[in-house]
Amino acid sequence: MLRSILQTFANCFRIPELRSRIFFTMMLLAVCRVVALVPIPGLDGATLAKFFEENASRGGGLLGMYSLFTGGALERCAIGSLGIMPYISATIILQLLSAVVPQLSKMVREEGGRVKIIQYGRYLTVLLCLGQGFFMALSWENPEKVFGAGFPGNLVLMENLWWYRVQTVLLLTTGTLLLMWLGEQITDRGIGNGVSLVITIGILSRLPQAITATWMKFFPPRGTTQMGWNFFHAIALLLLLLAVVAAVVAVTQAQRKIPVQYAQRAVGRKVYAGGTSFMPLRVNYAGVMPIIFAQAILMFPEKIFLSLAGLTRQNLPGLSKVCEAVYVQLQHGTFTYLTLEGLMILFFSYFWVATQFNELQIADDLKKYGGYIPGVRPGQHTSDFLHRAMSRITLAGAIFLAAIAVLPTILFRWVDVPFEIGQFFGGTSLLITVGVLLDTMRQMESHLLMRHYDGFLKKGRIRGRF
């Protein structure tokens, strides 16, 4: 099988169009890495990078997750520190608004409406970049308030603070817009989804750190009392990685096929024959979004109770102790934190399905085009059937997401696996990487099959994610 896969990759470079698309994608992704490495003038990125490296053993948190999505640009004070996330945030906001605002919902269904929605997303990206860039510039001015009281030194090297703020906001906005443009160029002229590949290449840029941490575990430095890992640890980690990746691939591709029967119908003078098809309902319909929402929201209670404990320490010592106790329980990696994260992932999985999966519209479209589900009446009964089916498979997908989300933290806290290694065993990084690679391989396979080459799998093609 390995020989067949290697032969398939070799065939990819035998097709001139596919070869040019692959090289074009690789060149633009290299430019994205340059954007994540070029520092902003007037900032001491080396100090922040050293601080992140020394505190990597404490685990992730929201800043760690954001730095992961930016490919390490945040910890280097690079021009790509905002990453592609403002564009993704703008897209998500418009998707959610399209489900509740009638004007946007009507625009999506109109011809050329999606082009306008994309244009609105770009405008909203600029606004988000200006706002987030300004707050990021202020956070670099006061690093001890963001990264903790033990932060060594200052990051801003310029004396004129207002010029520093204007310059930083403009550079951060330009960096995000450049990444957005590169992602769109990859989608149009390259291979794969450009925006997703920009995030994926940033995640994969952490592989050298994970390999170094693994090497240090097996061969600790001389003079340390730390026990090194042995051969059985390597076998256990390898088996766990294979099992997790296989499970992620299976759930990402999993879908329930709802049979749909189309009756013969006449439109004008044309008569359309009936037939049988199916409607795919994805098990993991929400993708990685519930994990991102849950981790982002859980950051704020910890900060709020820590601030309340400091403010009430002198006047209300009893309340201060309560706030400190709650703060300890809500710290990243605790049992309470993991429980709340799992419950919030369940909630946001159903919330995303409720806002994006419109069973009423699907039932109306089926009735409009003469389709029906065997054994189910058209109209409201079809809508109820789809609602029940989607609710059941969403529960399975949400439980899987919760397990994958907490696995890196469990490995880090309770199994003594370094966080640099554990983040590749689950969480957002693995879900995004597997999903994007599957989409990219599917596009490459479509080019191969058009030229009568074998795909990556001779039995069973890679299914597209609906």
- Three-state DSSP at 271 gives strand
**Residue 440 pLDDT greater than 60, yes or no:** yes
Q: Which residue has the higher pLDDT, 28 or 85?
A: 28
**Residue 111 pLDDT greater than 50, yes or no:** yes
Q: With CA atoms as reference, report the closest residue to 82 among 38, 134, 133, 18.
A: 133
- Torsion angle defined by CA atoms of residues 93, 250, 332 and 319, in that order, rounded to the nearest 10 degrees: 70
**Banded model confidence at residue 149, pLDDT cuts 50, 70, 90:** low
**Residue 61 pLDDT greater than 70, yes or no:** no
pLDDT in tens, 315-374: 777 888 888 888 888 877 788 888 888 898 999 899 888 888 888 888 888 888 778 888
Lowest-confidence pick of 80-94, 286-300, 355-369: 286-300
For 77, 442, 462, the CA distances from 436, given in Å and listed in that order, are 27, 10, 13
Buried b (16+ CB within 10 A) or exposed e, 327-350: beebebbeeebbebbbebbbebbb
Q: Which CATH architecture has domain 1-205?
A: Orthogonal Bundle (1.10)
Is the CB of residue 220 less than 8 Å from the CB of residue 239?
A: no
Mean pLDDT of the chain: 80
**Residue 31 pLDDT greater than 60, yes or no:** yes
Total-model pTM: 0.79
Residue 59, Cα to own-chain centre: how many angstroms?
18
Q: What percent of the chain has pLDDT over 70?
A: 87
**Residue 159 pLDDT greater than 50, yes or no:** yes
At residue 2, the pLDDT reads 64
273: left (phi over 0), alpha (psi -120 to 50) or beta: beta
d(CA 163, CA 168): 8
Q: Are strands 255-262 and 371-372 parallel, antiparallel or unpaired?
A: antiparallel
- Three-state DSSP at 290 gives helix
Q: What value does the mean pLDDT take over residues 13-18?
A: 82
- Three-state DSSP at 110 gives coil
Domain ranges for the chain, please list them: 1-205
Is the CB of residue 74 less than 8 Å from the CB of residue 116?
A: no
Which two tokens mark 76?
């280097």
Cα dihedral sign, 187-405-354-69: negative
